Amino acid sequence: MGAALVLAALGGPAVAQDREEAGFQGYLQLLAAKARGAGVREQTIGSVLPGLTFNPRVIAFDRSQPGGGPSTGGIPSFEPYRRRHVDAGRIAKGQRIYAESGQQIAAITRRYGVPGPVILAIWGHESNFGSYTGDFDLPRSLASLAYEGRRRDLFADEFIAVLKMIDRGVPRQKLVGSWAGAFGNPQFLPSVYLRVAQDADGDGLADIWSSRADTLASIANYFRDAGWRPGEPWGFAVTAPAGLDRASLGTTLASPRCPQVFARHSRWRTVREWRALGMMPQAGYWPAGDDTLATFFEPDGPGRTAYLLTGNYRVILDYNCSNFYALSVGLLADEISR
């Protein structure tokens, strides 16, 4: 028997694909019922679900993510990441937009209490100021991930949320984004869009794809909603004293959310207490008041740049729970504000 015949006898890849598609089509009926239960309009369900097909590419991406397979162990160093993300191009572009839209950004800062450079640093990190936002069809990606991904419940809920966006008047053709369902300038998930997106220019659509005003206000609203404290820095670089007893500073709290990220921070101390322990701010002055609480973090270990991080750093982590991400957002914001 030839190879082709063996494959045919076993069902073969084409048959497996057909079976997968049939399973997916059945699953769409469950999603339709779930959408109806959540109050999505029948017209929306009828306009999106028929013709939707399974996308094996997003499942392949999902499986290749960190955490998708066995850990490779070890923490990479922050410095190369910083050089890639806090780069001259991004700094210059952020500074240019800050200068161009200064009044608009100042108004947003007054309204939401979030500094312009922080908002711009998020936009710069998420999509390089809108230069890449993804071209995957969102309903197709989300339904595929809900059917077979590693976080099925999360994506089923995001699928319902993307249908609700259509109910709210978001045009179907806008609904493209990353393979994992994030879209637009700030790379929101649909549920985040529904919760915080803002129509700042007043044209009736919270347009985080092509309106600068809507994009900036939506990011600012996310930050206000997550508890950003006006007037407090995200953190700042410090030099640790020789002989610092690091073991005594270890945190005893275990975070329920992304515990590996929080486990790398020390316990909380006030700025006054850090100063008493011998910390020196690298800027030559203390950018936060004596009573401000902060944790100590050495991304590349003792002897390299260390940081004191305030509660506002946690707000950046709320946006994307990665120390490298949050640190480089903070550092890019600092560069944009220079």
In terms of CB distance, is 20 or 201 closer to Ca ion? Answer: 201
Number of residues that bind Ca ion (CB under 5 A): 7
Q: Is 203 in the site for Ca ion (CB under 5 A)?
A: yes
Report the amino acid identity of residue 269: R
Closer CB to Ca ion, residue 109 or residue 218?
A: 218
Phi and psi angles of residue 71, each rounded to the nearest 5 degrees, phi first: -70, 140
* 207 in contact with Ca ion (CB under 5 A): yes
- Work out the number of other CB atoms within 10 angstroms of the CB of residue 306: 20
Report, in Å, the least distance between residue 78 CB and Ca ion.
Answer: 37
Q: Give min distance, CB of 289 to Ca ion, in A.
A: 37
Contacts with Ca ion, 160-199, as mask; x by CB under 5 A: ---------------------------------------x
Distance from CA of residue 148 to its chain's centroid?
A: 22
Shortest reach from residue 268's CB to Ca ion, in Å: 40
Report the residue number, 207 or 298, with the smaller CB distance to Ca ion.
207
> Smaller CB distance to Ca ion: residue 162 or 205?
205
SS3 140: helix
Looking at 20, 87, 201, 225, which residue binds Ca ion (CB under 5 A)?
201
Q: Which is closer to Ca ion, CB of 137 or CB of 207?
A: 207
Q: CA 204, 223, 259, 190: dihedral to nearest 10 degrees?
A: 0
Measured from the CB atom, the residue of 217 and 288 that comes closer to Ca ion is 217
Q: How far is the CB of 225 from Ca ion (least distance, A)?
A: 19
Residue 210 in the binding site for Ca ion (CB under 5 A) = no
How far apart are CB 210 and Ca ion at their closest, in Å?
A: 9
Residue 93, CA distances (Å) to 55, 125, 219, 332 in order: 35, 12, 18, 11
* Angstrom distance (rounded) from CA 30 to CA 95: 48
CB 241 within 8 Å of CB 277: yes
141 touches 58 (CB < 8 A): yes
Sign of CA dihedral 82, 134, 21, 164: positive
Please say which residue, 107 or 249, places its beta carbon nearer to Ca ion.
107
* Contact stretch for Ca ion (CB under 5 A) within 94-102, 139-147, 211-219, 284-292: 211-219
Vertex 330 angle, CA 325 and 333, to 5°: 120
Tokens of 202: 């007043």
- Span from 2-10, 203-211, 227-235, 281-289 in contact with Ca ion (CB under 5 A): 203-211
177 DSSP β-pair partners? 136
Amino acid at site 210: S
- Residues at the site binding Ca ion, with contacts judged by CB under 5 A: 199, 201, 203, 205, 207, 211, 214
